[in-house]
Amino acid sequence: MLRSGIRNNRELVVRLYRLNSTTTSIKTSSTSNVNTFKTAVETAEKLVQPPAASKIFHDPFSIVSHEMSNLAKSIANLIGSGHPTLNRVSSYYFEAEGKNVRPLIVLLLSKALSKIPLEQRNRIKIDTFDVTDQPHYKGTPTKTSIAGRGVDDSISPLAILHGINPKVILDPLSKPMDKLPKFDAVNGILPKQRRLAEIVEMIHTASLLHDDVIDLSDSRRGRPSGNIAFTNKMAVLAGDFLLGRASVAIARLRNPEVIELLSTTIANLVEGEFMQLKNTVLKNDDTNVIDNDGEDKLIPQETGKVPTKQHEYSIQCQDIVDHNTNVDAAFEYYLHKTYLKTASLMSKSSRAAAVLSGSQDEIIEKCYEFGRNLGLCFQIVDDLLDYTSSDASIGKPSQADLKLGLATAPILFAWKQDPSLGELIGRKFNQEGDVEIARKAVEKYNGLDQTKLMAQEYCYKALENLRVLPESDARSALEFLTNSILTRTK
């Protein structure tokens, strides 16, 4: 697997070098410190605008520039409220320079899917509001038809949605949203896929506002976090508001399968956060939780009036058995939590992009697996960077996981070699000296190197998933972006 991945890397570098030869000088060196992830993102942000007729296309990342450059503005049209302070808090994180990886993936994948011949993209019929030159619903849609309406059109009357008479009261919510650019046959990205990219970033940003309150963060994207710049209460309410606005936009995609996928990601984010609160499967006792002061807190017991059965997909706690079994269970717990918190949104939005393209089931499944593997790789690298990066380089507090009591891959690998670390993990490193002991153990047992290898494995799986798509500049960009995640420094 490793040799295959290295070979894929070399082939990809050669391919991208040729594609970029007239626009970008790519310097490679074994000692180079260039942040290829940043380069990939910056170039990829140029990737949604079809080239001018007189200009030969060379840069694989110049395909989505228009959509990426207008992403924040388009989202602002979706989240506008009648309250100026709410507008300010809701748009706060969109003002700063973020990675925007999630919408970028959706747009690049949508572009790559458009290269599949139309006759092979007939799983669903695409209505006239998607694209006019593909098979669509025949006849004029009736007034009750939701398939024949665009992503900007409300289903219920605006006066009902907003509780006002839009003809009398001037309110941002009563104005029609800016129309998306008309579909361009050269570009291939559908309006609903563009809107999907915006929705994904809204959901992600809402989770950041909530996470920063939960984690007591003081910085995000190089400036004060939302909870510091405003208040905890405003940050939480703004996150809730973003999720509400995203839910409206999801409904207007008018595809039940996509609505189900995206709605589930919101629930997954919360489930993942609760898994992180518990941290590991070491303790079967769910009657106690750790409060903000690091103390055990007894929670109310069930009354029996409402059933609280766990879903079958839940990771079940293990009884204390042998050390290797405990470590394996902890890794399973960690990866499931990582999927829920990070990979779920990437994988299900990738699947949604494929569904909206009309692609067949095999393609849809591979797109989902691509997003899942990429998301796991992304978060594992994030957990790695928490040990190796400075605050300034990543734009948020570094080395915070251990301080928050989180057992991520580096310390789990060290625990596998040193069973005594289980006691520290179980108490969430809350005693004096625990964090330093854990850091030294990670270094002693090569926890970072093993974590990097784990990330590489998911990276190579994601690259393999992409091979189901036709060769194109968009697929090359996705491959380059996937590889660059391993070398990112922020």
pLDDT for position 115: 92
Residue 32 C-beta-side C-alpha neighbours within 13 Å: 10
pLDDT confidence of residue 462: 97
Of 65-79, 283-297, 452-466, which range is least confident?
283-297
10: confidence class by pLDDT, cuts 50, 70, 90 = very low
Please, is 462 exposed, middle or buried when counting C-beta atoms within 10 Å of its C-beta (0-12, 13-18, 19+)?
Answer: buried
Q: Cα–Cα distance between 409 and 388 in angstroms, integer?
A: 14
Q: Which stretch, 242-256, 388-402, 457-471, has highest mean pLDDT?
A: 457-471
Residue 278 inside a domain? The answer is yes
pLDDT at 374: 97
Share of the chain above pLDDT 90, in %: 43
- Asked, for residue 385, whether it belongs to a domain, the answer is yes
Per-chain mean pLDDT for the chain:
78
Q: What are the pLDDT digits (tens) for 377-420?
A: 999 999 999 998 765 555 555 568 888 888 999 999 999 999 99
Residue 406 within any structural domain of the chain: yes
The answer to whether 27 and 478 are in contact (CB under 8 A) is: no
pLDDT at 320: 54
In the prediction, which pLDDT does 72 show?
84
Does residue 369 lie in a domain region? yes
- The model's confidence at residue 102, banded by pLDDT at 50, 70 and 90, is very high
Domain around 342: 256-302+312-468
Asked if residue 204 belongs to a domain, the reply is: no
**Residue 68 scores a pLDDT above 80:** yes
- Model confidence, pTM: 0.79
Query: Looking at the predicted structure, is the pLDDT value of residue 1 above 80?
Result: no
How many domains does the chain contain in total?
1
Pick the range with the lowest mean pLDDT from 117-121, 184-188, 203-207, 328-332.
Answer: 184-188
In a domain, 170, yes or no: no
Give 274-323 pLDDT, tens digit per residue. Answer: 888 776 655 555 666 666 555 667 778 787 788 776 655 544 554 557 88
What was the pLDDT predicted at 143?
A: 42
The percentage of residues in the chain with a pLDDT greater than 70, rounded to a whole number, is 67
Which is more confidently placed, 98 or 458? 458
Q: Is residue 81 included in any domain, yes or no?
A: no
Q: Which of 76-90, 176-190, 208-222, 370-384 has the lowest mean pLDDT?
A: 176-190
Q: Does residue 101 form part of some domain?
A: no
pLDDT surpasses 90 at 47: no
Question: Is the pLDDT confidence value at 38 over 60?
Answer: yes
Q: Is the pLDDT of residue 428 over 60?
A: yes
- The CATH number linked to 359 is 1.10.600.10
Most confident of 46-60, 122-136, 178-192, 358-372: 358-372
The winner for highest mean pLDDT among 65-74, 124-133, 145-154 is 65-74
Higher pLDDT, 488 or 171: 488
